[in-house]
Structure 1
Amino acid sequence: MGKVPAGEAGLRLIHLDADLAAIDKPAGLLVHPSSLDAHETHTAVDLLERQLGERVFPLHRLDKATSGVLLFARHAQAAREHGQAFEAGRIRKQYLALVRGWPPEAGEIDYPLARDPELPSAGQPRVAALTRYRRLACFDWPFSVDGRHPSSRYALVEVDPLTGRRHQIRRHFKHLAHPLVGDTTHGKGAHNRAVAQWLGVSRLWLHALRVELPGGLSIEAPAGAEWAPLLS
């Protein structure tokens, strides 16, 4: 990996070579300008371009609330080549997520999704979407969200989205009836608030842990300190 400039913008660069740059995106940072967050003045694209002093091309998306590996091309040819690799499913992405309940130890969610998650699903064409997951840990925490149960169950899962639909992981785990904790759109507010109080952190519990590219290059962003109670 080449020398990583510190840069006044302060983004944490985790990979830099002639073709690619990758950052460990913090939760709460937009990838690029969006009409849904028109008030936001800082985006990962803008900050990284100022940090490197050059134009960059985002190769995939992370939701604003998601943290972790975010990959950019440094020139148009790399953007084309790696964009085609993403489209062909030749680039593997792996995530960590905290979900409500205890899903099976491993599984595959093969469920078509409406193309635009910002619009009502009814009437939209659906596109194929496939997610694999593996359960890493189960938690039974001593607080009640549902009056029928004295405690509440959650699980840490490792997730591999095999297609790249918008909000795919969040929507697939909602379909599985194990929504992500901290998901204000597809999750449950009572659970989000209870876990935030228990762990002392309010966030969407979704982290892009690793991106693996053709040729053997693997770029990883270890989960932040707030994940330590879930990983120990």
Structure 2
Amino acid sequence: MQTQCQLDSLKVLYHDEHIVAIHKPAALLVHRSPIDKHETQFAVQLTRDLIGQEVFPVHRLDKPTSGLLLFALNKESARHLGEQFTQHSLQKTYLALVRGWTAAQGEIDKALMYKKDKYGDRDKQEPTTAQEAFTAYQTLGQSTLDKHLGKFEQQRYSLLELRPKTGRKHQIRRHLNGISHPIIGDVSYGDRNHNHLFNDWRGYHRLYLAATSLAFTHPHTEQPIRIQAPLQNDFVATLQALNLDCAMFNHFQNL
């Protein structure tokens, strides 16, 4: 169930006759799913009620990921935007808090096997070979935490800005796990010991991954447009506790 505090962080970031962009809080599903039958509120429904008209999903964010979510307001705009996502012609940017100290910048070029959705892809013909997947990252800041874990008295963490050039399922989460820098709070691909440390220390049971901007071609004007999303309060508070509230990401006003 969503708390009122979480739902309060769902806000409209951009709205015109053809598209609407919102900030989706962590732990909110984009749309109804058999995976979480107990959930009663979804981003599609809440956005529709907020603006008073039907919305058409053109992409999705994982349930635990917060940040920018774009909807079309008519079928033609949905088709136009859907083509951009399929062709990977738009630019997506994310922030992630990960275990360990990463290089100043890097490129993860590792093909990923198709990950079938247990419910939504039940009848879909899945690829039998790995799909091309590419993620570029830049390290925005690094921190140490004076907490004992395993054989270490201090823990190291990095804040990354990521730009995935393809859109495979769980791509960023799988890629970062693949280079031994899993995202904090990732129960599927992360480090459970560090996840538990943050849950106990901060009290926020969330994935520290946020979609922070999207640059694309407007489906009606055909002009380039870039929309930015703020960070959720719990994400910001954790970064501040790690002394990572530096100027490099201060342009992300928190909710």
Select the residue among 195, 199, 202 that pairs with 1:196: 199
Secondary structure of the residue aligned to 1:213 is: strand
Deviation (angstroms), 1:124? 4.8
Alignment of 1:81-230 (within 5 A): 81-116=80-115, 124-147=128-151, 149-214=152-217, 215-226=223-234, 227-228=236-237, 229=240, 230=244
CA distance in 2, matches of 1:231, 1:133: 19
CA contact (8 A) 2:97 2:184 kept: yes
**CA separation of 1:178 and 1:124: change in aligned 2, threshold 3 A:** farther
Secondary structure of the residue aligned to 2:163 is: strand
Deviation (angstroms), 1:118? 5.3
CA distance in 2, matches of 1:195, 1:78: 41
What TM-score, normalized by structure 1, do the two folds share? Answer: 0.89
CA distance in 2, matches of 1:85, 1:204: 27
The answer to whether residue 74 in structure 2 is matched with residue 75 in structure 1 is: yes
**CA separation of 1:118 and 1:83: change in aligned 2, threshold 3 A:** closer
Unaligned runs of 5+ in 2: 1-6, 119-126, 218-222, 247-255
CA distance in 2, matches of 1:85, 1:37: 29
Give deviations 1:87-119, integer Å, cap 9, x for gaps.
122211100000001111101111111111657
CA contact (8 A) 1:145 1:151 kept: yes
**CA separation of 1:191 and 1:117: change in aligned 2, threshold 3 A:** farther
Per the alignment, residue 46 of structure 2 pairs with: 47
CA contact (8 A) 1:173 1:180 kept: yes
RMSD: 1.7
CA distance in 2, matches of 1:151, 1:61: 36
Secondary structure of the residue aligned to 1:174 is: helix
For 2:141, give the aligned amino acid: A
The answer to whether residue 65 in structure 2 is matched with residue 63 in structure 1 is: no
CA contact (8 A) 1:117 1:167 kept: no
CA distance in 2, matches of 1:117, 1:167: 11
CA distance in 2, matches of 1:53, 1:202: 32
CA distance in 2, matches of 1:85, 1:111: 22
Give the paired residue count.
220
For 2:192, give the aligned amino acid: G
Deviates more, 1:164-173 or 1:37-46: 37-46
Give deviations 1:118-174, integer Å, cap 9, x for gaps.
57xxx9531111100000111111012221x21111100000011011111000001
Secondary structure of the residue aligned to 1:80 is: helix
Percent sequence identity is: 40
What TM-score, normalized by structure 2, do the two folds share? Answer: 0.81
| Over 6 Å off, 4+ runs | none
Secondary structure of the residue aligned to 2:83 is: helix
Deviation (angstroms), 1:46? 1.3
CA contact (8 A) 2:25 2:232 kept: no
Deviation (angstroms), 1:197? 3.0
Secondary structure of the residue aligned to 1:83 is: helix
Deviates more, 1:67-76 or 1:219-228: 219-228
CA distance in 2, matches of 1:91, 1:170: 20
